[in-house]
Chains A and B, each alone.
Chain A
Amino acid sequence: MRRLPILLLAILLLAALLAAPARAAEPIRVGLLAPLTGSWASEGEEMRRVTELVAAGLNARGGLLGRRVEVVVQDDGGDPRTASLAAQRLASAHVAAVVGTYGSSVTEATQGILDEAGIVQVANGSTAVRLTAKGLRLFFRTCPRDDEQGRVAVAVLAGTSAKRVAILHDSTSFAKGLADVAKAGLAGAGLTLAAFEALTPGDRDTTAVLTKLKAAKPDVVFFTGYYPEAGLLLRQKREMGWGVPFLGGDATNNPDLVKVAGKAAAEGFLCLSPPLPQDLDGPEAKAFLSEYRARYGAPPLSIWGVLAGDGLRVLARAIEAAKSTDGPKVAEALRSSVKEFPGLTGKISFDGKGDRVGEVHRVYRVDASGAFVLRK
């Protein structure tokens, strides 16, 4: 019976050997904050699909640092209060990093929570200038900033025959910020401000503000808010029999806009946007688009979802470069090792503040069939 202890020892050793790889194979969990419910639900759904597809691609190539990548999705409801709770849940789940989210005011509610928890955040749709002006070392974004977009908007407006510009926002961080930047740039481009107004998001009736704008007789209206309201505005503008052209900011580039407005009312609507998924070129983007179509049966429609995918891809690169999932180390790697990274949406590098550098907006026009067509 002297063999029993040896046998026991052998079993213990075997168990330890089996357990060790199990611990090493514990997945790297990356949080995704996305508006799966609320009025931006169609954006949130695409963010989830794209991110899960990118994660599946990483896992097919052996994962990260030998570990699988797992996406933990939390619904932010497109609402700052829901989002702060969602961020807290991700923080207490000790995710390695967080991708998202879409709306600037929503992201703003999560920044402090994630920063305190030492978690790197890569936002995909939050373009408000001040998000990166707070000196948060762990915050990055794959989308361009509003001030850049504001400059593009003024240049586009100056390129038309319009002289009097009305600017309309919806009081959210993003829309107000963009509206302010555009307003400041008008005079320098020889344009005059006809009106500067705000509407209430979620409000279905926009006739009051449209009537007020109409009385100011603008040549063009620049709406800086989001697509649900943009659709309602276009529809009600047509019902009023008012033919003024509308230019939208890059939160209006969602096909649901055409559904809300109707094709007749949406035709001729111009919007600024980073290139839409169908206009992405480059080998990574082409491969990604065909994978997406194979998995979900339809192409991705929104660029913001693709930018969330780029968020996860740069994080993967940074985690590999840092050989760690530790927040500050990953952030350092995002600044130093991610240079001219071949993203789905073009080359990606970050500046010291965490903003993406070198991104160009395009101008899209809604045609008679309701499609967003790139204006060359």
Chain B
Amino acid sequence: MEELLQQLTNGLAVGGIYALVALGYTMVYGVLRLINFAHGELFTLGAYLGFTFLTSFAFAGRVGPIAGLGLLALLVMGLVAVTGALLERAAYRPLRDAPRLSAVVSALGASIFLQNALMLVYGARFQVYPDEALPNRAVRLFGAQVPVMRALVVAASAALMAALWLFVHRTRFGTAIRAAAIDRDAARLAGIDVDRVVLAVFLIGPALGGAAGLMVGLTYGQVGFTMGWGYGMKAFTAAILGGIGNVPGAMLGGLLLGVVEALGSAYLSTAWKDAFAFIVLIAVLLVRPTGLLGERIAEKA
């Protein structure tokens, strides 16, 4: 029982990260029908920016651990969001009306470009977050051992997801985003500035991805320029699992994927961990081809 609880918390912590990254994929897909393959690299950028700030300005030492982490998160999210917007401007907007394949190729190119740029700036060796900057304690929660950093990560990803849900479902601009996702041309006819919606999507998605990268850095310490590929792959799977284009679906898909991996490795075999993730994906797609919550695409088609 204790082991089950521990594995569930392990899975939720990993799943929270998948979910945050998945949101970036799913929001962009929802509005533009484009898989932003460079999203994994934006995630990596977040992890590296966090490393840069922590090592060059000694944040946590000056402003107290929690406030320092908050400030750090805001800075990282802001910078990654701006990068995301620039990426949209440079790599996707010129191809908005081109055949969809061109945009996909452009996305792959952007991914390779960003990955190599990160390697050239930070070097090919992995970097390690400064140890002393992080709270390094564990608390007992219902019999499971939960490190403070992990609890913070779960809480922060839950808070970010809740904020996003409120924004998309309870504000006028959120309604505009959803309208553009259902039908871009009709939304434009209704007076919605689609370019602003796309810009917003490319600010919010990368900001969340950057936050996830920062969280990975803070939790595991080790960041490398190829890390975006693995996490991006899993998050993309999570987005499809939940129903791509659907915001709550990405959250559900991410958490589910994390838990499936943890329980699969606990009760079956850890060597097969990645296989379980994709077996679940295939099983779900066989029964529900649009993903768990992905009804909207079915309506459209």
Contacts and interface: CB of A to CB of B under 8 A. Distances in A.
Interface in A260-311: 260, 262-264
A262 B147 CA distance: 15
Interface in B221-251: 221-222, 224, 226-227, 230
Interface stretch (A85-93, A111-119, A234-242, A316-324): A234-242
Interface stretch (B93-101, B104-112, B125-133, B163-171): B125-133
B214 interface: no
B220 A228 contact: no
Interface of B is mostly: helix
A208 B273 contact: yes
B10 to A, nearest CB: 4
B3 interface: yes
B262 interface: yes
Nearest to B3: A215
B263 to A, nearest CB: 8
A76 B262 CA distance: 32
Contacts of B11: 208
Give the bracket for the number of chain A residues in contact with chain B.
35 or more
Contacts of B13: 205, 207
A36 interface: yes
Interface string A99-114: 0000000000000000
Give the bracket for the number of chain B residues in contact with chain A.
35 or more
B150 A259 contact: no
A198 B224 CA distance: 22
B145 interface: yes
B265 interface: yes
A260 B51 CA distance: 13
Contacts of A197: 269-271
Contact of B10 (A211, A215, A259): A211
Interface of B: 3, 6-7, 10-11, 13-14, 119, 123-126, 128, 131, 136, 138, 145, 147, 149-150, 216, 219-222, 224, 226-227, 230, 261-262, 265-266, 269-271, 273-274
Interface of A: 36-39, 41-42, 45, 171, 197-200, 202-205, 207-209, 211-212, 214-215, 228, 231-232, 235-236, 239-241, 256, 259-260, 262-264
